[in-house]
Structure 1
Amino acid sequence: MARDTLIGGALWEEYSSEVQRRMNDPVNMGEITQEEADKESKQLIIADFGAESCGDAVRLYWLIDPKNDVIVKSRFKSFGCGTAIASSDMMAELCMEKTVDEALKITNIDVEKALRDDPDIPAVPGQKMHCSVMAYDVIKKAASLYKGVDMSEFETEFIVCECARVSLDTLKEVIRLNKLDSIEQIVDYTKAGGFCKSCVKPGGHEKKDLYLVDLLAEVKEELEKEAISKKIKEAKADGDFNAMSLVQKIKTIESILEEYIRPTLKADGGDVELVDLKEIEGGYELYIKYKGECMSCSMNTTTTLAGIEDMLKFKLKANLRVLVI
């Protein structure tokens, strides 16, 4: 059946022919009975898993040889949409002739890729990727029953994007190393957020504990703070404030203003600008200019000014007077 075949008045060009074939004629659908397991001296495992986001569910049957942990037969029953049937059918097939530990390495991406007609074209639309995720999760459930452990033991990382199985640690590392600054770049580098898009921002078909937009903002803020701290260290040049050049002194003051002063002022609609730094007998005079709401604030020459001066004195360990122009 071609990808652009019309079915029931809907254009199914986003579904591969392999997906459509397995929707209509699944190869591995069925049951494995305890009688069959006893007859072959094998262990029967029956695992159920449901997806809360869509209400689909799958039951997985494994017939395992306890001598070597090999899954000699795998069958399934799916209670859901056609995509869930096709994904479950492929999942069951991929499990056969593998050990339980080998089956645990099968991911939802492996299932989806095995259903593709073209290696570069997804087998299903993004909003249907959760069906292959469900297939991945039921494998973990079956393995946990066979091994007698909780399935959470197989998940060692916090997964942000369930569709692409991308963890929080991986996302943070990729964003940091490549200095990514957009969701589009994250999708390009990691594939996270490229399928159902529920993990990108609130409002998708499935609620998430953490969204990519929040993670990106968090990492960018961390990188900015680290950059500021680095500038301070570089400006100090392994010496005290008095030993710095004028350029280094100004960079250091700017870094302190950016990290410790401006966030508070900006929160109230204001800001401060460094205008000049003069060296006087026994210390320094720093000239600043208020911006925004700070210009009309009644405390800009009292409490706010004293706070800026105290912070700079504390950080620089220098005799410094701050003046407003």
Structure 2
Amino acid sequence: MWDYTDKVLELFYNPQHQGVIEDKGEPGIKVAVGDVGSIACGDALRLHLKVEENTEKIIDARFQTFGCTSAIASSEALVELIKGKTLDEALKVTNKEIANYLGGLPEAKMHCSVMGQEALEAAIYNYRGIPLDTHEDDDEGVLVCTCFGISDAKIKRVIIENNLTTAEEVTNYVKAGGGCGSCLASIDDIIASVQKEKASATPVSNSLNQTNGKSAVKPLTPVQKIALIQKVLDEEVRPVLIADGGDVELFDVEGDRVKVILQGACGSCSSSTATLKIAIESRLRDRVSKDLVVEAV
């Protein structure tokens, strides 16, 4: 018996947002759908969004879920979190927020919160007319887990976003390694690679001055901040964007405002806002400063 929180059981037994949103051709309203998972693999989620076009605000959302208690509760939690938000605001919702909203999930069920996050991204990208193969991790990178069709790009992403350190944790979040187990060594290699990248990108601000026996954080100088931002862009952000046919160039840094130039597919894509916030800004906030704001020029 899984140790579910009261919130998980409440949303599972009494979901308020199950169902379909039909496109009735209402003026100024657009309906988008995002699909993730596979019934063959045990979990599948279809998310419906009803969006006010002039504001891009989500005015309603519904879900159809094939899965366990955690999958249904995570889907319900996702809808409650995103209703009333704009699409850009919704894109900032992480699987951690879904799990926290539920009061936590059993480790072996964390993949349900990840599935919700991915369904949301799929629906928003579909709303903006972006082909799935430009953002779906499963279709990019090297296939690592053949049992569940999980690529190295998707595994790396979930490791970074959730600070995972073991192959068992990766299996809990994306199921990779939960089949025949032949990919577990490859997952360990990816974890080691991510940890090495984190170690090389440790902010200079973590260096400590010893004053009267106490540790004090030494702030970054403007030059150090720019150098660290450039390092993170070159080593952690650009490889991901280049794999998608895009690129980014640092243009200027003014205080906590980081100005960048999106190039290639990123520059011409209507999802550039998502690229700025998810692929670039969140990474720089993790590695350099939580106060950074990234803008495209």
Q: How does 1:212-223 map to 2 (within 5 A)?
A: 212-215=187-190
Which residue number corresponds to residue 131 of structure 1? Answer: 112
Which residue number corresponds to residue 7 of structure 2? Answer: 18
Aligned mates of 1:60, 1:220 — CA distance in 2: 34
Aligned mates of 1:142, 1:69 — CA distance in 2: 13
Q: CA deviation at 1:26?
A: 0.9
Q: How does 1:239-318 map to 2 (within 5 A)?
A: none
Identity in percent = 31
Residue 47 of structure 1 is aligned with which of 34, 51, 73? 34
Asked if 2 retains the 8 angstrom alpha-carbon contact of 1:140 and 1:151, the reply is no
| TM-score for the superposition, normalised by structure 1 | 0.47
Which residue number corresponds to residue 123 of structure 2? Answer: 142
Asked if 2 retains the 8 angstrom alpha-carbon contact of 1:160 and 1:199, the reply is no
- Per-residue CA shift, 1:128-170, capped at 9, x if unaligned? 11111111111111011111113454579934356xx233xx8
CA RMSD of aligned residues (A): 3.6
- Per-residue CA shift, 1:81-140, capped at 9, x if unaligned? 121100011111111111112111111111111110xxxxxx221111111111111111
1:31 aligns with 2:20: yes
Aligned mates of 1:65, 1:27 — CA distance in 2: 21
Aligned mates of 1:56, 1:220 — CA distance in 2: 30
Q: Could you say if the C-alpha distance between residues 65 and 20 of structure 1 is closer, same or farther in structure 2, counting changes exceeding 3 Å?
A: same
Unaligned stretches of 5+ residues in structure 1: 1-9, 117-122, 171-186, 223-325
Which residue number corresponds to residue 270 of structure 2? Answer: none
Q: Could you say if the C-alpha distance between residues 148 and 221 of structure 1 is closer, same or farther in structure 2, counting changes exceeding 3 Å?
A: closer
Q: Which has the higher contact order (CA 8 A, sep 6+)?
A: 2
* Greater radius of gyration (CA): 1
Unaligned stretches of 5+ residues in structure 2: 138-151, 198-297
Which residue number corresponds to residue 241 of structure 2? Answer: none
- Kindly provide the amino acid, as one letter, of the partner of residue 42 in structure 1: I
- Per-residue CA shift, 1:4-53, capped at 9, x if unaligned? xxxxxx3x4x2111011111111221221222x52x64111122222478
Asked if 1 retains the 8 angstrom alpha-carbon contact of 2:159 and 2:170, the reply is no
Which residue number corresponds to residue 277 of structure 1? Answer: none
1:158 aligns with 2:146: no
- Kindly provide the amino acid, as one letter, of the partner of residue 132 in structure 1: S
Q: Could you say if the C-alpha distance between residues 126 and 74 of structure 1 is closer, same or farther in structure 2, counting changes exceeding 3 Å?
A: same
Aligned mates of 1:50, 1:67 — CA distance in 2: 31
Q: Could you say if the C-alpha distance between residues 18 and 220 of structure 1 is closer, same or farther in structure 2, counting changes exceeding 3 Å?
A: closer
Aligned partner of residue 41 in structure 2, secondary structure: coil
Q: Could you say if the C-alpha distance between residues 193 and 29 of structure 1 is closer, same or farther in structure 2, counting changes exceeding 3 Å?
A: farther
Which residue number corresponds to residue 45 of structure 2? Answer: 58
Q: Could you say if the C-alpha distance between residues 221 and 115 of structure 1 is closer, same or farther in structure 2, counting changes exceeding 3 Å?
A: closer
Q: CA deviation at 1:218?
A: 6.2
